[in-house]
Structure 1
């Protein structure tokens, strides 16, 4: 069975949560007999086609960006060509140009949409886009929400309960490098034996200003890994507040990230807006057996981090509550160890890439059946 994933960016150039989800799906689906390909946009699509860790990535020229939406004239023709060759088209929402491409090319293959997030930031433009969005969601065969929390709280998904199922995002720890003993020791010497860790792209909805406010008056190390649009603004804020215990590392290698996850005391994840629909870096912490501190925003973050079991969940945009949660974990190493153990067990039960791949393979077969096809038929090209 051949599946085409369609999204505006991909991990070969960009490392956000949706890109990571597509990557994990491409890697884990092969065990279920699925051949995955990706079509994405690029500032410099040379080469136009490449192999990325075992799967094919097709790249077309990004022509312009409007409100975080990439547009490409050549993508329409390429999408039509590739969709004709595969058995299922797998869309990743939100990306309004994708909806447009679906209708302009008159795509008629079995289709699945992973609904990663509501559109939160561009409320005025959303009003203009809403008719196209609903027409698109009406037209696809199946919709996937990444957590029961998001399905329950999304006003958009409320209108599609009959065609929506929950498949949580999963990770495969084997895809993460094992850091060398030398690298581990280097980080121990540089940061110390205990530290809180944040990992992620530094965007407006990550709530890092809340974390900085929570750090005031404390002395435990807080390490921030990642880069992004508001990175310099946050660094200035930390300097103005005299936060010598906050360490900005910027972008690090995969080996260094794995080392920091392994060495960290606990994960801090202060995202305060629904734009944070799941929280893959939060899940990475659980995968490494770390307790978590996150905010209750009605999304997948509170599905990963179950309050009192795997960590602590506090009200959003509340630096004092976040500070108290950090203090509680800092002062109670036994609780930290127990929560970390339970976090890792929850990951193993609900969030492995193997489970995600098997769940999507079942969904793909169900969608083919809606069109009167079987997996055997598509494999034989009949």
Structure 2
């Protein structure tokens, strides 16, 4: 008789064990970067994460003789049901100790049954917890550490998920390139024409008016991404929450808003680009702990961060300006501005762009800069329940 037990996460101590499990899973993986425990606990705790205002989640631990050997979540999000189709439930946060062939399928089956009990007819995952957190299972690019806010998984998970009857719904890709190289002449001419036109201006965000600028960016995001597969709009509470979380890692010379002069002769927000230093390089040695000394170390490092990689997690052009020459012009003008800034005082040599949906031709045409290559692929799976 198996000694495996799948039990729900119910207490604060359970949530701590749920988070701590990944240290056992990846203890021998040189490419894994320990997440900040406070961030992970905040993500899964109702009352701290405003996602729970429109969604519910259940968490489980797989245990053998009291030792945690695996975990999973299942989620039902009212906004997912509205934007991705009735009956669409999610699962995520799947982790498993090496060799646990029994626990993986049982955890997935447990999450599926919870979704069925809530009348879900389609299971889509992994999403941890939403499309805005860490979506997808890493299926390519294991031998490179993830950049900030991207996931890292064991190669064995793919076979477990597919063995449970899941098929690919969508791939998300990231591109990496050497940002020391200047733009090719054709793109540079497009940028120069935009700079001369008088119709476009690119400005840095202003931390003195941070609330206003962060709202502008997140409203542009909701508009620019609204037709994308998997899109779920950020609520008012999530916009405020995201703005607060992002503020410490926002550097004015790395985040910009593009404005276009409209038919009335007034400049209006048309596009945005957020570039961040790869914070994983700054937190890796903290082992997930901010206290008692990690917080001070991180604050000091973030004053004038020096990193090898930059990441562009979010970028978008308002729908009314998408398509055609102007859209590309706005994008490349922002990219060039942030490329120059990144290679300056930050000392970065490489940049990562994404994630990008595998069939988002507009963003792929921008991401596929000369020299850029896909360095990681994350897969979202689906299954009829």
Is the shorter-chain TM-score for this pair beyond 0.5, marking a shared fold?
A: no
More strand by share: 2
More helix by share: 1
For normalisation by structure 1, the TM-score amounts to 0.30
